[in-house]
Amino acid sequence: MTTLGILGIGHLSEHLVAGWMRSADAPELLLSPRNAEKAQALAERYGLRVVANNQALVDQSEAVLLSVRPWHALEVVNSLSWAPGQTLISAVAGLPLADVQAAAPQTKVTRVMPIIAAAVGESPTTLYPEDTLTRALFAPLGPVAAVPDEARFDAANIAHCYYGCLYALMEQAETVMAEAGLDPASARLLASQATRAAATMARDHHREPLDETTAAIATEGSFTKLGLDHLQQREALSAWAEACRVIHRAIREA
């Protein structure tokens, strides 16, 4: 079993730990004392160990997940002694692999970008470069997609921001159904399950163009077509596309 040290216990790390702890293929997890209150709460919840300091975490781990704020990341990496060949996995948004590698040249550095759906085993994790150990560590949290370069790593991360935006979209449908008299729990269930159903169909029938699927559902005279036409007339779908481009530009310029 691989020992994975988590350097930086924040919102994302909490969800990653929850996902690993529900899996039979979980690595042995060690927690850094960084953000001590959250680290201790996770340790108590799952029976994990918080090590004395960051160097102890590195010394006792085969792989280390770097999950700290971007402006602290290189300072943290530079302050530690790393073993030759040790795997350093960066989940720091916007921080190029070369910068992390320069701070710890004796390690093997990879980049990942999971999402909080890791807690339920549904995180799509972007990986660069392909690495057997990193893939194996994140596979219990959901599908892992390796990309050949950082330009495409940045492009792939549009999906992770898109994921966050979907909650706002679901909220609109949920709110309108509740306003029409549906109880809030049923409205939440229907909006979220419809979103999940569409995602599953799109994933499992990936050779079918999505516009063809849309056309097959939103037939002339249907209520779906009525709603879709309303969105198109107000350029709402174009606004979604532009939001993705805005996100991509910001990622590239980070």
The parent domain of residue 196 ranges over 158-253
Helix (H) / strand (E) element for 72: namely helix 70-78
Q: Residue 34 — pLDDT band, cuts 50, 70, 90?
A: confident
pLDDT at 219: 97
Q: Is residue 153 part of a domain?
A: no
**Three-state secondary-structure class, residue 204:** helix
pLDDT at 5: 98
- For residues 157-181, give the mean pLDDT: 96
- Are residues 164 and 54 both part of a single domain? no
Q: Is residue 240 part of a domain?
A: yes
The yes-or-no verdict on residue 65 having pLDDT over 90 is yes
152, 52 in Cβ contact below 8 A? no
The total number of structural domains in the chain stands at: 2
Q: Residue 35 — pLDDT band, cuts 50, 70, 90?
A: confident
- Apex CA 38: angle with CA 77 and CA 162, to 5°? 75
What residues form DSSP beta bridges with 89? 65, 110
> Domain end: 124, 147, 170, which one?
147
Q: Is residue 152 part of a domain?
A: no
Computed over every residue of the chain, the mean pLDDT equals 95
- For residues 26-36, give the mean pLDDT: 91
Backbone φ and ψ for 8, nearest 5 degrees, come out as 110, 110
- For residues 18-45, give the mean pLDDT: 92
Residue 101 amino acid letter = Q
Backbone φ and ψ for 65, nearest 5 degrees, come out as -95, 120
> Domain end: 86, 115, 147, which one?
147
Q: What pLDDT, in 10s, does the model give residues 177-222? A: 999 999 999 999 999 999 999 999 999 998 999 999 999 999 999 9
- Could you tell me the CATH number of the domain that includes residue 87? 3.40.50.720
Q: Is residue 40 part of a domain?
A: yes
